[in-house]
Amino acid sequence: MATAKKSVDFPAGTDVGGSAASDPNEGDDHRDIEAGGAVSAPATVATTPRPRGQRLASLDVFRGITVVLMIIVDDVGGLVPAISHSPWDGITLADFVFPFFLFIVGVSLAFAFKRVPNRALATKKAIVRASKLFLLGVILQGGFFHSIHDLTYGVDIRKIRLMGVLQRIAIAYLAVALCEIWLRGGASDIGAGGYALIRRYRHQLFVGLVLTVTYMMFLYGMYVPDWEYEVTSPDNTLKHLTVKCGVRGDTGPGCNAVGMIDRHVLGIQHLYTRPVYLKTAQCSINSPRNGLLPPDAPAWCEAPFEPEGLLSSLMAIVTCLIGLQIGHVIVHFKEHGERIVRWSIPSLSLLILGFFLDLFGLHLNKSLYSLSYTCVTTGTAGLFFAGIYLLVDVYGFKQPLFLMEWVGKHALMIFVLVACNVCPILVHGFYWREPQNNLFKFIGIGG
């Protein structure tokens, strides 16, 4: 994620990731009421259902691990560029975090809307929840809260950042929730074969295909003309820069269709001002770290770019839709072995497809949310989830991962307090005589 901090999902309205749906009309969220407890082998299935209120522990553990990973790559990534976000093409550990959250949202939605007796009411609730998350994202990531070393707050609404990771998750959640509410077949077909499952959810799969084709058409078919912007230099002088493009299908930082759409629709003043491509060799003498601009830096280096923009959000929805199909496997298949196989085969296929696409020129790129990036990260998420499920829900290794499960159950709270710097800012606000005499300086953090 190119933002300062990452985000988490909010699908079921009570805590992030959909723990404990509050409305019985929405069915069970991510409670696995059919899978048995710990067994001696994946092929052995406990036939006694779990109590209704028991949660799918592996999903909480997966979410918790992703939250911890998010905090690590954010706080350590500046010191270890190898795990920080890739400056442009390529993929690193940090680039898996956001797709993992989107994947978890999709899995959770298969349970949050498992039973929908009133589609209109369920749609209203989904819209309200998505709106709350979007607004929270604007407040937390739009620039209102100050940085750790700046004891001010507030933002000029003429320059507020409109998009962000929470906002993108809200968009993906709403789109996929509507698909689950309105675009699925009739009877449950519990235990039916894979073809029956595809037939039941064929309209959702068609939506994913349409979104992918639309994204590819815009990315590679839209003409990007020259464009201009202004930036204030360190000596407070206003610089007027022109980026020369006049190309079609370019996927570089300065002349891609993703950035052009955001500049025209959102407005360049509402985009993210510290894009990850500032760490490229063209824009930093300390690449892959941030640094001074080289003398021959291209004009686009100082331009804003929204890594959670409008066009790239189409592929974020696709990631969430794939997670939804993984969740459907839990709903429709009872045996642990069946579930793991039906997760592993498509996930491995996506992973291989993504690397082949990258090999043939459709490069892995998080900022553009490229098709190859979508395949690799979503395939990895599916395999990782299958592994956690095998470890936690099949073999019962819950105690060693208790902390991760707890973090997963309280992901939104941890995100707000830690990942969005709310807790550090509160501590930093108490100082002795001068703002620089604060607890962080006393313990050796910051200057």
Question: Among 17, 19, 46, 20, which residue's Cα sits nearest to residue 34?
Answer: 46
How far is 289 from 280, CA to CA, in rounded Å?
A: 8
How far is 245 from 4, CA to CA, in rounded Å?
A: 29
pTM over 0.75: yes
CB atoms within 10 A of CB 436: 13
Question: Among 354, 316, 362, 407, which residue's Cα sits nearest to residue 100?
Answer: 316
**Identity of residue 370:** S
The CB-side HSE value for 310 (13 A sphere, CA atoms) comes to 14
The DSSP bridge pattern shows strands 247-248 and 223-224 to be antiparallel
126, 102 in Cβ contact below 8 A? no
- pLDDT per residue, tens digit, the chain (447 aa), is 444 444 343 333 334 444 333 332 333 334 332 333 333 333 333 333 444 445 788 999 999 999 999 888 887 777 788 888 999 999 999 999 999 999 999 999 999 998 888 999 999 999 999 999 999 999 888 877 766 666 666 778 888 999 998 999 999 999 999 999 999 876 555 555 667 888 899 999 999 999 999 999 999 999 999 999 998 877 778 889 999 999 999 999 999 999 999 999 999 999 999 999 999 999 999 888 888 999 999 999 999 999 999 999 999 999 999 999 999 999 888 899 999 999 999 999 999 999 999 999 999 999 999 999 999 999 999 999 999 999 998 998 888 888 998 888 888 888 777 766 677 777 776 777 776 677 766 665 554
